[in-house]
A and B are shown apart, each in its own frame.
Chain A
Amino acid sequence: MQITDVTLIQRILAGEKKAFAELVDRHKDRGMTLAMRMLKNREEAEEALQDAFIRAFSALPRFEWKSSFSTWFYRILYNVCATRLSRRGEDIHMHLDGSEGEGGFDVPAEDLLPDEKYESDEFQSMVTREIEALPALYGSICTLFFMQDMSYDQIVEITGLPLGTVKVRLFRGRMLLRQSVGRRLGSGKLKVV
């Protein structure tokens, strides 16, 4: 039976150093994915992730158990990455105006694939590449939504953004992803059999 995050945190607070290593091992891959999709640079993403774990460790005695460790930790990581982005001059906290799209599709139906092609590794790789290429503004929200399977409320808690902004960003991110994959299909990168 796998030990829960709660038990690990209790052990850490009792002075068991090894338990924190297990917590790091448990969350580092998902954390790295979020950091990579925000910062788009492997080295910087790893540094940000390291900073986030160290901050989490220092703040662990103040952890209030109101949310899960992962939600709390991703909030720290998101803020570390957002700070790094703002140092580069990219503001991830800006609020977007405008409504969710009402337009039609721009992926020609004839470029869509037969069902079996959706199961291929090639399609999977193409989608992965396109998610990684999404701007940080949308990539971060889409990553939390898809990768972590998080609800709107959890994303609001992590990002500190208003619910409306989260919804708009997620919608736009999903549409951008759809359009970019559609364009690739249209350009014949993945041949329809």
Chain B
Amino acid sequence: MNHLTENEMLQVVDGSMLNGEKTRILVHLESCPRCRKEVEFSRNLERAARSAPLSKPSREFTARVMGRIAPQLKPSIGTWFINNLANILAMTLVLTVVWYAVTLKKADGPATGPTVVSNALAVYSEYYAKVRELFPADRIRAVQSPMTDQSAETNKIILFTVISILILVAVDRLVLRRVIRLRR
């Protein structure tokens, strides 16, 4: 007895037997337990192949892909605004305080520079120098207990210390963001 060929067996499994061959193959299967068993084996094998578990990439895979495509994405103005909210607030505060300092200087006397910017820089430099000068122990105590020393000079020291911190925060944030972007 001639058994089914591999090709004929797969045709039975796929249900793709040619019309002319179909009757012969089916008649053979009726009378041949070996070929029936082989066909059954193939069917079960392919059923198992179809339900084989999928391989999974690592947990952070999607985040990594999104990180790599981030520079290609053009964010909307709203998204850009939210992402940069902290920077915008910090810079607004810095500018407000600088403007306040310029106004104070103008109230003290005539402007010394030709422009508002150079005035602001000059005022900031002047007060920053004072902070450095007054930084020693007695002034630290004065800052720590403002209720006991309410002089205008102490207030200015606190003010410009805050400005310095804000500038540092803004710079740090910008640097940090760049480093993160480069790592991606």
By a beta-carbon cutoff of 8 Å, the part of chain A in contact with chain B is 15, 17, 20-21, 24-25, 28-30, 32-33, 35-36, 42, 45-46, 49-50, 53-54, 57-58, 100-105, 107, 109, 112-113, 115, 118, 123-124, 127-128, 131, 142, 146-147, 149, 171, 174-175, 177-178, 181-182
Contact = CB atoms under 8 A, between A and B. Distances in A.
B50 A147 contact: yes
A19 B65 CA distance: 13
Contacts, number: 123
Contacts of A54: 65, 68-69
Contacts of B76: 15
Contact of A175 (B6, B34, B68): B6
Contacts of A21: 62, 65-66
A118 B43 CA distance: 10
16 contacts: A15-B73, A20-B69, A21-B65, A24-B61, A25-B62, A28-B57, A32-B56, A45-B57, A101-B5, A102-B7, A109-B37, A113-B41, A118-B44, A124-B52, A131-B49, A147-B50
Contacts of A113: 41, 44
Given A104-B5, A109-B37, A112-B37, 19 more contacts: A21-B65, A24-B61, A24-B66, A28-B56, A32-B54, A33-B55, A54-B68, A100-B6, A100-B7, A101-B7, A103-B6, A104-B3, A104-B6, A105-B9, A109-B34, A124-B52, A127-B45, A146-B46, A171-B6
B21 to A, nearest CB: 13
Contact of A118 (B48, B55, B56): B48
Contact of A105 (B3, B51, B56, B61): B3
Nearest to B49: A146
Contact of B55 (A32, A177, A181): A32
A28 B56 CA distance: 7
B58 interface: yes
A45 B38 contact: no
A60 to B, nearest CB: 10
Interface in B77-101: none
A175 B7 CA distance: 9
Interface of B: 3, 5-7, 9-10, 34, 37-38, 40-42, 44-58, 61-62, 64-66, 68-70, 72-76
A63 B50 CA distance: 29
A140 B170 CA distance: 52
A105 B46 CA distance: 16
A9 to B, nearest CB: 14
A185 B37 CA distance: 14
B3 to A, nearest CB: 6
